[in-house]
Amino acid sequence: MSLKFICPLCQSPLIPHAKTWTCDGSKNDKLTQHPFDVAKQGYVNLLPVQRKKSKTPGDSAHSIEARHRFLQAGHYEPLLDAIKELVADSANDLANNQPSAWLDVGCGDGYYTFGIVDALSTTHQTKVIAMDISKPAVIQLSKTAKQIGILWSQNDKHGIYPLVASASNLPLADNSVTGISSIFSPIIPAEFARVMRAGGRLVIAKPDVRHLASVREALFDTVRPHDSDKFLLELEPYFSLNQRVEVISELRLDGEAMADLLTMTPYAYRAKRERREALFRPAKAGKFETTAKFLLYELVKKAK
Question: Domain range holding 139?
Answer: 55-301
Please report whether residue 39 resides in a domain. Answer: no
Domains identified in the chain, total number: 1
Cα–Cα distance between 127 and 114 in angstroms, integer?
A: 12
Q: Is residue 12 part of a domain?
A: no
Q: Is residue 96 part of a domain?
A: yes
* Entry pTM: 0.92
What is the chain's pLDDT, residue by residue, as a tens digit (304 residues)? 468 999 999 999 999 999 999 999 999 888 999 999 999 999 999 998 755 555 556 678 889 999 999 999 999 999 999 999 999 888 776 666 566 899 999 999 999 999 999 998 876 678 999 999 999 999 999 999 999 999 999 987 778 999 999 999 999 999 999 999 999 998 999 999 999 999 999 999 999 988 988 888 888 877 776 666 778 999 999 999 999 999 999 999 998 998 899 888 877 667 677 887 888 888 877 778 999 999 999 999 998 7
Please list, in sequence order, all residues whose beta carbon lies within 8 angstroms of the beta carbon of residue 36, skipping any fewer than 6 positions away.
14, 20, 21, 22, 44, 45, 46
Residue 187 within any structural domain of the chain: yes
Q: For position 124, which CATH number holds?
A: 3.40.50.150
Would you say 291 and 249 are in contact if contact means Cβ atoms under 8 Å apart?
yes
Q: Is residue 121 part of a domain?
A: yes
The answer as to whether 233 is a domain residue is yes
